[in-house]
Chains A and B, each alone.
Chain A
Amino acid sequence: MAAAEFDIPEIKDYIEVPKLREGVMAHAKTFLAPKPVQDFMGYPHELADNWKESALEKMGDLLGKYRSLKVFLDACVHCGACTDKCHYYLGTSDPKNMPVARQDLMRQVYRRYFTTAGKLFPKLVGAKDLTKEVLDDWYNYYHQCSECRRCSVFCPYGIDTAEITMAGREILNHVGMGQKYSNEILGKVQKIGNNLGLPGPALLDTLEGLEEDIEADTGVAVKLPIDVKGAEVLLVTPSADFFSEPHVESLIGYAKVFHAAGISWTLSTHASEAGNFGLFNGNYETMRKVAMRIRDAALELGVKRIVVGECGHAWRVAYSFWNTLTGIGYGADDPFSIELQKQLDPNYPQPQHICELTNDLIQSGRIKVDPSLNDDLIVTYHDSCNVARASRMGTEPGGQFTIPRELIKSVVNNFHNMADDTIYESTFCCGGGGGLLTDDLMEVRVKGALPRVTALNNVVKEHKVNFMATICAICKAQFTKVLPKYGFDMSMVGGVHQLVSKAIKLD
């Protein structure tokens, strides 16, 4: 990779709210998707003469389909509560990275074409014509939002900028300005089965290699089965788990858990990806198509349970949307869903997070662990945004915070939280979520990581923390790349099941 052409921000003692500096991130523009990528997705690849009409028509369509968009565009009073909440604003000081200003890029157009006040008195209410400049602003700044929802926690009306960003990207795609990174991945997952584009045979090879490694390491023949019909559990995990570091360490951890608990399980080549970038694009049908692979695999393999590996946005889609999109869950009375729901074991939540599964097994004593095997580590935990603010684990609200921590504390002896206003629902995004995990947005990613890195630096100084656990493939990939730029060792990031893997006792 070329050398960074931007200054790495200085880590201060506290997260500071910067004075705004207009236009400092206006140059950060992610690569546009080329023709073949857009063709596959069914979108144009360049602006047509009637792009403006087309964009407004799409906007009208979305306003009729999504209450969130309509209410959020109307309800904002410009109070300013969100202005200091976005990690991209805190890291870049570009005012268009303040949540309300990011929303206003669309709100100004909404007011101009869809509201009485904006049609009659545009200047008075800040309404603007949809011009190429405005569209370019959309493209640049809707790709400097990781859809992390931190702003929605603090908004008095719960306005979620992620919903606006998703709508913005959907409209951009519709007129021919798709993002190369996300749309390429959406092509791969639909054509090959996973985001990395690993074909079945390569996957098989990788898994066999891992089985050999585990046996060499532990002396126990832990298996990583794939496409096994009649297995009890289908594990759906981000494809990064198959060969990226440190992700693969967690995959080994899941395998050891299933082995130790004696649960029959399988991966699937067809559903060899938990991630669903359809979420980032905001297109319901794309997200549904990608999610349907899981349903198809579950039906084909006849599994009783569906478990999801460590991945933040995948868990949001799985927990919050799978039931809606594919019928994976409970409580349906339509023929489409009943077929699948009667196949699933009602004794378990569907889908279940791997942390829920492992934590239950440890707390109930069905698997044994020795936390002293992790005594070389002083651990903190990074709440991933989609897990924290868009999902749950367990039966109680907030289980998404307590269950991973309970699990970590049962496999390590040294644990310290980061500052209160940077964890739980106030957690700061890693800086690489929402379709931003691409080298062409490196400046946005590095600067956006500043608030999290600041909080991490404080526990490193105070408690000598040397490991930050997280349960998101994007967080892991982002931190291994970005932490070194701030002077940290990339190996200090890893999965929760990487810790489980070290502490678990195998027979």
Chain B
Amino acid sequence: MSTVTIIYAGLFYIATLLLVAGLAYKIFDYSRTPAPLKIPTTPAPTTQTGVVYRMAKEVVLFESLFKSNKWIWVFGWLFHFGLLLVLLRHLRYFTEPVWFWVNIVQPFGKYASIMMVVGLIGLLARRFLVDRVRYISTPSDYLMLVLIIVIGASGMLMTFVAHTDIVALKTFFMGLMYFDVQPVPQDPILLVHLALVALLMLIFPISKLLHAPGVFFSPTRNQADNPRENRHVAAWAARLDQKN
């Protein structure tokens, strides 16, 4: 087995472990932290069903962002929806036989990469061009966009320009999944693509990418507006009642 294969196999095992463990810890941490007061941004739904609908509109359509700024909405939505299709398409490298709906997504997923990169470039351009956004941007804000753009661009190169040995790649990943490590194809574009994906997985649970699980725990969006009808008390706050 080549050194490169050992490095990449190790990298993906570590990245997967840290991604899953890190996210699981953050989700556990968010869910154990109480929200002592009812603070939905109103007008808000009065029922739990309504809350699910509101959250779905936020997550699928980015409703609040749409109200806020059409440019960020267009670029942000192109990027995220493109990314979703691209990720679904990639399931073909991790399943055997390939699920039928992944085959349906496949052609859309190929071109969704263009949506994704266009959206990312738009978001990056805003960081340079809009003085307010430039002011709040940290180095990691730029680098994060550049990282995903390079991942997308290297992927597109392999899809549309210089095909890589995709059968060998699938063998490599299926091998990783069944703990039977197979050689990684030594195509430089592919190796760059894979290394950056692993890096993205590593930084996910310790960066602003936590907005993905975070949005579901946002009390201004996930609480029902029913404080007069139901008494809502956190455990640490309920102890104050016992002193009276």
A67 touching B44 in the complex, CB below 8 Å, given contacts A125-B207, A331-B229: no
> Taking chain B's interface residues, is the majority helix, strand, or loop, or is none over half, making it mixed?
helix
Residues in chain A near residue B44, CB distance under 8 A: 392, 397
Contact of A67 with B219 in the complex, beta carbons under 8 Å: yes
Contact of B227 with A68 in the complex, beta carbons under 8 Å: no
Query: Does B221 make an interface contact (CB < 8 A)?
Result: yes
A-contacting residues, B197-229, CB 8 Å: 203, 206-208, 210-211, 214-215, 217-221, 225, 227-229
Query: Does A329 make an interface contact (CB < 8 A)?
Result: yes
Contact of A400 with B43 in the complex, beta carbons under 8 Å: yes
Return the CB mask of A31-72 against B: 1 if under 8 Å, else 0. 000000000000000000000000000000001111110111
Contact of A156 with B231 in the complex, beta carbons under 8 Å: no
Residues in chain A near residue B225, CB distance under 8 A: 392, 397
Query: Does A98 make an interface contact (CB < 8 A)?
Result: yes
Residues in chain B near residue A158, CB distance under 8 A: 41, 58, 64, 215, 218-221
Residues in chain A near residue B228, CB distance under 8 A: 319, 323, 329-330, 349-351
Residues in chain B near residue A330, CB distance under 8 A: 228-231
Residues in chain B near residue A65, CB distance under 8 A: 33-34, 36, 234, 236
Residues in chain B near residue A20, CB distance under 8 A: 131-132, 135
Query: Does A364 make an interface contact (CB < 8 A)?
Result: no
Pick from A80-88, A192-200, A373-381 the stretch touching chain B: A80-88
Pick from A146-154, A173-181, A218-226, A476-484 the stretch touching chain B: A146-154
Contact of A389 with B37 in the complex, beta carbons under 8 Å: no
Contact of A125 with B241 in the complex, beta carbons under 8 Å: no
A392, B136: Cα distance in complex, Å: 34
Query: Does B125 make an interface contact (CB < 8 A)?
Result: no
Count of A-B contacts judged by CB separation below 8 Å: 236
Residues in chain A near residue B236, CB distance under 8 A: 65
B-contacting residues, A215-258, CB 8 Å: none
A125, B64: Cα distance in complex, Å: 26
**A87: shortest Cβ distance to chain B, in Å?**
15
A152, B140: Cα distance in complex, Å: 24
A310, B132: Cα distance in complex, Å: 37
A100, B123: Cα distance in complex, Å: 17
Query: Does A75 make an interface contact (CB < 8 A)?
Result: yes
A400 touching B29 in the complex, CB below 8 Å, given contacts A158-B221, A319-B227, A330-B230: no
A288 touching B240 in the complex, CB below 8 Å, given contacts A66-B35, A78-B137, A104-B136: yes
Query: Does B68 make an interface contact (CB < 8 A)?
Result: yes
**A362: shortest Cβ distance to chain B, in Å?**
22
A37, B123: Cα distance in complex, Å: 48
**A168: shortest Cβ distance to chain B, in Å?**
16
A332 touching B220 in the complex, CB below 8 Å, given contacts A81-B69, A95-B132, A163-B39: no
A323, B217: Cα distance in complex, Å: 22
Residues in chain B near residue A425, CB distance under 8 A: 41-43
Contact of B76 with A324 in the complex, beta carbons under 8 Å: no
Residues in chain A near residue B45, CB distance under 8 A: 397
**B141: shortest Cβ distance to chain A, in Å?**
5
A427, B133: Cα distance in complex, Å: 23
Query: Does A461 make an interface contact (CB < 8 A)?
Result: no
A292, B30: Cα distance in complex, Å: 30
Residues in chain A near residue B215, CB distance under 8 A: 75, 156-158
Contact of A68 with B133 in the complex, beta carbons under 8 Å: no
Residues in chain A near residue B139, CB distance under 8 A: 123-126
Contact of B67 with A154 in the complex, beta carbons under 8 Å: yes
Residues in chain B near residue A81, CB distance under 8 A: 64-65, 68-69, 72
A75 touching B211 in the complex, CB below 8 Å, given contacts A65-B236, A349-B228: yes
Q: Considering only CB atoms, which chain B residue lies closest to A154 in the complex?
A: B68
A156 touching B65 in the complex, CB below 8 Å, given contacts A70-B30, A101-B136: yes
Contact of B64 among A68, A153, A288 (CB under 8 A): A153
Contact of A71 with B218 in the complex, beta carbons under 8 Å: yes
**B146: shortest Cβ distance to chain A, in Å?**
13
A155 touching B132 in the complex, CB below 8 Å, given contacts A65-B236, A320-B227: no
A-contacting residues, B24-73, CB 8 Å: 26, 29-30, 33-39, 41-46, 58, 62, 64-65, 67-69, 72
A71, B32: Cα distance in complex, Å: 12
A126, B130: Cα distance in complex, Å: 19
A138, B122: Cα distance in complex, Å: 33
**B63: shortest Cβ distance to chain A, in Å?**
8
Query: Does A212 make an interface contact (CB < 8 A)?
Result: no
A334 touching B241 in the complex, CB below 8 Å, given contacts A81-B69, A320-B227, A397-B225: yes
**B134: shortest Cβ distance to chain A, in Å?**
9
Q: Considering only CB atoms, which chain A residue lies closest to B230 in the complex?
A: A331
**A431: shortest Cβ distance to chain B, in Å?**
20
Contact of B42 with A75 in the complex, beta carbons under 8 Å: no
Contact of B36 among A77, A324, A331, A395 (CB under 8 A): A324
Query: Does A74 make an interface contact (CB < 8 A)?
Result: yes
A154, B236: Cα distance in complex, Å: 31
A-contacting residues, B105-157, CB 8 Å: 123, 126, 130-133, 135-141, 143
Q: Considering only CB atoms, which chain B residue lies closest to A98 in the complex?
A: B132
Contact of B229 with A284 in the complex, beta carbons under 8 Å: no
Q: Considering only CB atoms, which chain B residue lies closest to A386 in the complex?
A: B42
Residues in chain B near residue A390, CB distance under 8 A: 39, 41-42
Residues in chain A near residue B238, CB distance under 8 A: 334
A311, B211: Cα distance in complex, Å: 35
Return the CB mask of A317-353 against B: 1 if under 8 Å, else 0. 0011101100101111110110000000000011100
Contact of A324 with B38 in the complex, beta carbons under 8 Å: yes
Query: Does A391 make an interface contact (CB < 8 A)?
Result: yes
Residue among A70, A121, A400 with most chain B CB within 10 A: A70
Question: What are 23 A-to-B residue pairs whose CB atoms are below 8 Å?
Answer: A22-B135, A66-B34, A67-B33, A70-B33, A74-B26, A76-B211, A78-B136, A80-B69, A80-B130, A82-B68, A126-B139, A154-B68, A156-B64, A156-B65, A156-B76, A157-B215, A320-B37, A324-B232, A329-B231, A334-B241, A392-B43, A392-B44, A392-B46
Chain A interface (Cβ within 8 Å of chain B)?
17, 19-20, 22, 63-68, 70-72, 74-85, 95, 98, 100-101, 104, 115-117, 121, 123-126, 149, 152-160, 163, 284-285, 288, 292, 319-321, 323-324, 327, 329-334, 336-337, 349-351, 388-392, 395-398, 400-401, 425
